[in-house]
Chains A and B, each alone.
Chain A
Amino acid sequence: MTIKIDVDMSLCQHYGQCVFEAPEVFTLNADDKLEYVAEADESLRHNVEAAVDVCPMQAIRIVE
């Protein structure tokens, strides 16, 4: 089972709060840009939900 992750890049301000909650999924590259994997194992759901919670722009969504 996998979960699908969507970040609205028009909202994202690349602060990287999500990186602390789910480093397996979200990273900030050297140019201050967010990179993320669009599909992750179900076991990471909890961490990704935590990332959803801490995103100041509310830019992250788990696509059900």
Chain B
Amino acid sequence: MTDPVVIVGAAMGGLRTAESLRRAGYAGPIQMIGEELHAPYNRPPLSKDVLASAVTHDAVAFPPRAETADVEWMLGARATSVDLTAHTVTTDDDAVTPYTALVIATGLRPRRLDFPTQVGRHAVRTLDDAMALRDELVRGARVVVIGSGFLGCELAATATKLGCTVTVVTPSVEPMVRPLGAMLSHDLRLRLEAEGVTFVLGATVAGLDDGVVLADGTAIPADVVIEAIGSDCNSEWLADSGLDLSDGVLADNALRAVTIDGTAHDDVYVVGDIARFPNPMFDDVARRVEHWNIPTDTGRRAGTVLGAALGGDLAAAVAVPFTPMPSFWSNQFDLKLQAYGLPGLGDPDDVRILEGALGGDVAVGYYRDDRLVGVVGVGLKAALLPYRQQIATGVRPGA
């Protein structure tokens, strides 16, 4: 029997790759190795509506598809090393699994603060994390969220809705400022404050002790501390592989993994949050994009290319350029944010209001060298779609 295609990381990116591989005509064995015990599920509701109600696997599970019914699942197993020459993956139960092709889909984990206290500390990436946090978000609980990215702001909003008293502590000048820029992030802070969230800006955490102690000595008492300070890539298991792990795992535009000396492997692919790949929609710089559409788009791409490679027609598949449109949404109270493109790429001095006005429904455009590279809408939907097209093509339909 031929060795399977082995997909390490049994979450959204891995699942979409398996489905797409089947669609590309590959009928051979597929094996999924995943550290979590749960079958793949959707993470975004874990900081939003599902966290606000009941956190269960059923509420977030991806529906299984007929075409991947014969995938072999190795759940609760963590890959510890890989041998790209021998074509094997080793897991923490010391099993050695041979592969025909390897897909790297191990995503991220929350970065944690380095303090000894363990009591009352949470971070949210997995279903189990969200279940543990949900139990503590009781009415009247004092919650401190450390970090003010999208995740921190969503968790602050959900905890407030659940009746907790919430303070967000952040070193930033405004919440979500890195992706959104000063103007919109300031506007959103005012709106979150009006909903009852307290922000402590420009603050560094010096310790955790019955709450959060700031560098200037201020103590903020807390029953629950949530760390939302960013993520680290799960790439340690690839340490001796020779792959370029400088930020995630480097891949080319076909999502083939690239070594430190710049060679792309035809039988090793990278998908999802951990993939750093160039997107010619913007330029030739390889970037990681931690947006929800990326596991799906990269999974489809990797499955298509790998399927073609196994079918003997790699060159044709690689020649098709891969230009996924980054898209992101975030719900905080009644604020519904939707973003397309890469707003963070824009020149900080060239941010324009495209529709509406701050304080209400608004669309903000982010430009680089006078070209629209990102758009963020608050409360707007169909009105954003022409800008989405403008980001992709440089031209706005009807303009």
* Chain A residues within 8 Å of B, Cβ to Cβ: 13-17, 19, 28-30, 32, 46, 49, 52-54, 56, 58, 61
**B residues less than 8 Å from A16 (CB atoms):** 381-382, 385
Q: Do A30 and B329 form a contact, CB below 8 Å, given A13-B336, A46-B23, A54-B296?
A: no
User: Contacts A13-B336, A46-B23 given: A56-B382 contact, CB under 8 Å?
Assistant: no
| Interchain CB contact under 8 A, B16 and A15 | no
Contact A17 B327 (CB under 8 A): yes
**Besides the known contacts A14-B381, A19-B385, 20 further A-B residue pairs in the complex with CB atoms under 8 A apart:** A13-B329, A13-B336, A14-B382, A15-B329, A15-B338, A15-B381, A16-B381, A16-B385, A17-B293, A17-B327, A28-B381, A32-B383, A46-B23, A53-B16, A53-B296, A56-B44, A56-B292, A56-B329, A58-B42, A58-B62
Interface string of B382-394 (1 = CB under 8 A from A): 1101000000000
Q: Which residues of B contact A19 (CB under 8 A)?
A: 385
Contact of A32 with B382 at beta-carbon distance under 8 Å, contacts A15-B338, A17-B327, A53-B296 already known: yes
9 shortest interchain CB distances as A-B pairs: A32-B381, A28-B382, A32-B382, A53-B296, A14-B381, A56-B329, A15-B381, A15-B338, A58-B42
Q: List 10 A-B contacts (CB under 8 A).
A: A15-B329, A15-B338, A16-B385, A17-B327, A28-B382, A32-B381, A46-B23, A53-B296, A56-B44, A58-B42
B383: which A residues are within 8 A, CB to CB? 32
Whole-angstrom distance between the alpha carbons of A61 and B65 in the complex? Answer: 12
Assembly CA distance A16 to B338 (angstroms): 11
- For B12-27 the 0/1 string (1 means CB < 8 A from A) is 0000100000010000
Q: List, in ascending order, chain B residues with CB within 8 A of A54's CB.
A: 293, 296
A11 to chain B, nearest CB (A): 9
Instruction: Give residues of chain B (273-300) contacting chain A, Cβ–Cβ below 8 Å.
Output: 292-293, 296
Within 8 A of A (CB), among B323-368: 327, 329, 331, 336, 338
* Residue of A with least CB distance to B377: A15
Residues of A within 8 A of B63 (CB): 52, 61
- By CB atoms of chain B within 10 A, which of A13, A14, A28, A56 has the most? A56
A61 to B329, CA, bound (A): 21
Q: How far is the CA of A57 from the CA of B329 in the complex (A)?
A: 10
The answer to whether B385 and A28 have CB atoms under 8 Å apart is yes
Interface residues of B in 1-59 (CB under 8 A from A): 16, 23, 42, 44
Return chain A residues, CB-CB under 8 Å to B336.
13
Bound CA span A55–B223, Å: 36
Please indicate the chain B residues that have their CB under 8 angstroms from the CB of A13 in the complex.
329, 331, 336, 381
Cα of A55 to Cα of B385 in the assembled complex, Å: 15
CA distance A28 to B338 in the complex (A): 15
A17 to B292, CA, bound (A): 12
**Within the assembled complex, what's the spacing in Å between the Cα atoms of A64 and B385?**
31
Which residues on the B side are within 8 Å of A28 (C-beta)? 381-382, 385
Q: How far is the CA of A15 from the CA of B65 in the complex (A)?
A: 25
| Bound-complex Cα distance A53 to B380 (A) | 22
A14 to B385, CA, bound (A): 12
Q: Write the chain A residue with the least CB distance to B15.
A: A53
